[in-house]
Amino acid sequence: MSNPYAKLPAWAEYGLIPLINLVVAFLVAGLVVLLVGENPLKAAYHMINGAFGRGEYIGFTLYYATTFIFTGLSVAVAFHAGLFNIGSEGQAYIGGIGVALACLWLDKTMPWFIVFPVAMFGSILFGALWAFLPGWLQAKRGSHIVITTIMFNFIASSLMVYLLTRVLKPLGSMAPQTRTFAEGGQLPKLDWLLSIFGLDIGNAPFNISFLLAILAAFGVWVLIWRTKLGYEMRTMGHSPSAARYAGISEPRITIVVMMISGGLAGMMALNPIMGEQFRMQLDFVQGAGFVGIAVALMGRSHPAGIIPAAILFGMLYQGGAEIAFEMPAISRDMIVIIQGLVILFAGALENMFRPAIGRGFASFGQRFPVAAQRGA
C-alpha cells in the first residue's frame, strides 16, 4: 500500500492517462473559447491545421519542439535527482553566449559542420557554468535551488541586456543583437527529412539541431538508466536517506546534475541562434525554459515521453499563432491560457482521473480476468 493508486498497465499509465488529461484540457479550453463568443471547433481546426496542415507548418512545429526537447530534458535530468531546476530559462539564455562567441569567431572562415560542434561545446559550457553556481550554493551553503535558480534567471536576463547593448553589439548598430553570422554560422535545414514524406519545408527554420535533440534524448536515457551516475542520481531522487546510507555524496551529485541540466538547457540556444535568426537577439529564449518544466512533467521525465510532449507544445505554439492570426477575437493571451490548461491537467492534476481509471480496470479485470492479467 505504499502506492495509494492501483498499478495500471504501462499503456494506460503512459498512454491513456496523458491522453485523457489532454482531451479534458482541450474541452475546458473549448469552453473558454465559447466564452469569448467564438466557435471552438473552428479554433480547433485552425490549431490542427496551423500546426500540421502544410509542410511549412510542420517545419515550424518541429522547430519549436526542438527547443522544448532540450529544455524538457534539462528539467527532467534534475527531477531524477530530486532537484527542481527552474533555471533552465536563464541557463539557455547564457548558453547563447557560447553559441554566439563560436559563431562570431569562426563563421567567416569555417564551414557549419566545424562551427556547429564548437558552438555546441560553448553552449554546454556556458549553460553548465550558469547552473553550477546555484548547484554549488545548495551543496555547500544550503541555499535552496528553487529560489537561487529563479534569481539566476533575472541575473542572466540583466547580464544579457548589458552584453547585447554594450559588448556584443556591432559598432554603429541600434539593435541589441550581434551581427548577422556568415554562412558558417548558419545551420542547414532539414528540408530533405520532410521531403521524404513528400512535404515542402517552405520558410520553416526546422534545422539539424532537431537531430541533436533526438540524440540528446537518447543520451539522457543512457545517463539515467544505464550509468553509475544515473543510478546515484535516481537513488538520491527517490530517497536521500538511502543515498546517504549508500555513501552517495549529495553535494557532488547536486553540482554534477545541475551542470548536466544547465548544459542541456544551454544547447537549446543552438536552435534559434544558428538555426533561425543567425544572430543572438535579446530574449531569444522566450520562456522555453519554463515550457520545459511542463514538458518534463507531461513526459514523466522520460525521454520517450519528453519528445512527444515537446511536439505537443510545439503544436500549441505554432497552431496557437495560427489561431491568433485567423481569429482576431482570440488573442495571443488566450493561447497562453490554453497552454496553461494543458500544463494544469497534464502536470498538476495528472492524478485526477487515475482513481476512476483504476476502478474501471478493476471491474474490467473481474469480468475478463484472463485478459486483464495478460495486460498487467
Partner 1 sequence: MNDIAIELRGIDKSFGLVHANRNINLTVRKGTIHGIIGENGAGKSTLMSILYGFYQADKGEIVVDGKVVTIKDPNAAIASGIGMVHQHFMLVENFTVLENVMLGAEDSQILNTSIAKARVELKRLEKEYALEVDPDALIEELPVGLQQRVEILKALYRRADILILDEPTGVLTPAEADHLFRILGQLKDQGKTIILITHKLREIMAITDEVSVMRRGEMVATRPTAETSVEELAELMVGRRVLLRVDKGEANPGPVKFSVKNLTVRDARGVTMVDNVSFDIRAGEIVGIAGVAGNGQSELLEAISGIRKAVSGSVDLNGTPIDMTGNADPRDLRNRGLAHVPEDRHHVGLVLKFEESENAILGYHHDKRYLNGVFLNIDAIRADAEEKIQKYDIRPPNARLRTANFSGGNQQKIVLAREMERGPDVLIIGQPTRGVDVGAIEFIHKRIIEMRDQGKAVLLVSVELDEIRALSDRILVMFAGRIVGEREPDATEGELGLLMAGVEGRKEAAE
Question: Which residues bind to partner 1, rule: CB under 8 A?
Answer: 1-3, 6-7, 222, 226-232, 234-235, 238-239, 241-242, 244-247, 359, 362-363, 365-366, 369, 373, 376
In DSSP terms, which residues pair with 189 in a beta bridge? 207
| Nearest alpha carbon to residue 186 among 121, 265, 107 | 107
C-alpha cell at 175: 539593435
Q: Alpha-carbon distance 375 to 138, whole Å?
A: 44
Q: Alpha-carbon distance 145 to 153, whole Å?
A: 12
For residue 239, the minimal CB distance to partner 1 (Å) is 5
For residue 183, the minimal CB distance to partner 1 (Å) is 38
Task: CB nearer to partner 1: give 71 or 254.
Answer: 254
Upper half-sphere CA count for residue 11 (Cβ side, 13 Å): 5
Cβ atoms 129, 87 nearer than 8 A? no
Task: CB nearer to partner 1: give 7 or 108.
Answer: 7
Task: CB nearer to partner 1: give 171 or 370.
Answer: 370
Give the burial string for 1-38 (b: 16+ CB within 10 Å, else e): eeeeeeebeeebebebbbebbbebbbebbbebbeeeeb
Three-state secondary structure call for residue 60? helix
Q: Alpha-carbon distance 317 to 320, whole Å?
A: 5
For residue 376, the minimal CB distance to partner 1 (Å) is 4
Angle at 234 between CA 231 and CA 238, to 5 degrees: 140
Task: CB nearer to partner 1: give 141 or 228.
Answer: 228
For residue 356, the minimal CB distance to partner 1 (Å) is 12
Task: CB nearer to partner 1: give 4 or 172.
Answer: 4
Q: Alpha-carbon distance 336 to 92, whole Å?
A: 21
C-alpha cell at 323: 489561431
For residue 372, the minimal CB distance to partner 1 (Å) is 9
Task: CB nearer to partner 1: give 218 or 245.
Answer: 245
Q: Alpha-carbon distance 134 to 128, whole Å?
A: 11
For residue 287, the minimal CB distance to partner 1 (Å) is 32
Q: Alpha-carbon distance 160 to 168, whole Å?
A: 10
For residue 12, the minimal CB distance to partner 1 (Å) is 14
Task: CB nearer to partner 1: give 179 or 302.
Answer: 302
